[in-house]
Homo-oligomer: A and B are copies of this chain.
Amino acid sequence: MNGLMMQSQLILTGIMNHALNNSPDSEIVSVTQDNPHFRYSYQQAFKRVSQLAHTLKKLGANKGDRIGTLAWNDHRHFELYYATSCSGLVCHTINPRLFPEQITYIVKHAEDRWLFIDPVFMPLVERMAEQLDSVKGIIVLTDKAHMPATNLANVYCYEALIESESIEFSWPELDEECAAALCYTSGTTGDPKGVLYSHRSLMLHTYGVLMPDVFAISRDEAILPVVPMFHVNAWSIPFAAPAVGAKLVLPGPKMGCGETLSSLIQKESVTIAAGVPTVWLSLLKHLRDNQDTLPSLNRVVVGGSACPWSIMAEFEQKHGVYTHHAWGMTEMSPLGTYNARVPKNLPNEAAQALRLKQGRSGFGVEMRIVDPEGNTLAQDGLAFGALQVRGPWVCERYYRSDKSALTTDGWFDTGDVATIDADGYLTITDRTKDVIKSGGEWISSIELENFAMTLGDVAEAAVIGVAHEKWAERPLLIVIPAEGKKIKSSEILAAFKGHFANWWIPDDCVTAKKLPHTATGKVSKKDLREIYADYLWPHEATV
Contacts from A to B (Cβ < 8 Å): 1-8, 10, 14-15, 17-18, 21-25, 63-64, 90, 175, 177-180, 195-201, 204, 207-208, 210-213, 215-220, 243-244, 333, 340-341, 343, 360-361, 363-364, 366-367, 379, 390-399, 406, 410, 412, 422-424
Contact = CB atoms under 8 A, between A and B. Distances in A.
B392 A8 contact: yes
Contact of A394 (B6, B208, B361): B6
A15 B220 CA distance: 29
Given A3-B196, A210-B211, A216 B216 contact: yes
Contact of A6 (B8, B24, B208, B390): B390
Contact of A3 (B14, B15, B17, B197): B197
A196 B364 CA distance: 23
A188 B390 CA distance: 44
A185 to B, nearest CB: 13
A contact face: mostly helix, strand, loop, or mixed: loop
A466 to B, nearest CB: 37
Nearest to A202: B3
A216 B207 contact: no
A-B pairs, 7 with minimum CB distance: A3-B198, A22-B424, A1-B64, A207-B207, A5-B201, A8-B392, A4-B196
A5 B178 contact: no
Contacts of A398: 4
Contacts of A216: 212, 216
A364 B14 contact: yes
A129 B203 CA distance: 47
Copy tally for this chain in the complex stands at 2
Nearest to A66: B1
A22 B423 contact: yes
Given A1-B64, A179-B3, A213 B219 contact: yes
Query: Which of A4, A175, A218, A422 is packed against the most chain B CB atoms within 10 Å?
Result: A4
A42 to B, nearest CB: 12
Contacts of A204: 10, 207
Nearest to A25: B423
Contact of A21 (B4, B63, B366): B366
B211 A5 contact: no
A4 B244 CA distance: 27
Contacts of A197: 3, 5
A120 B90 CA distance: 59
B207 A363 contact: yes
Contacts of A333: 5
A343 B220 contact: yes
B395 A5 contact: yes
Given A216-B216, A218-B341, 5 more contacts: A2-B198, A4-B395, A6-B392, A14-B366, A23-B423
Nearest to A9: B392
A392 B204 CA distance: 12
A240 B21 CA distance: 26
22 contacts: A1-B63, A2-B177, A3-B198, A4-B198, A4-B397, A5-B201, A6-B393, A6-B395, A6-B406, A6-B412, A18-B361, A21-B361, A21-B366, A22-B361, A23-B424, A207-B207, A207-B208, A207-B211, A210-B212, A212-B244, A218-B340, A220-B343
A196 to B, nearest CB: 4
A462 to B, nearest CB: 32
A149 to B, nearest CB: 36
B195 A391 contact: no
B5 A396 contact: yes
Query: Which of A90, A208, A211, A366 is packed against the most chain B CB atoms within 10 Å?
Result: A211
Contacts of A4: 179, 195-196, 198, 395-399
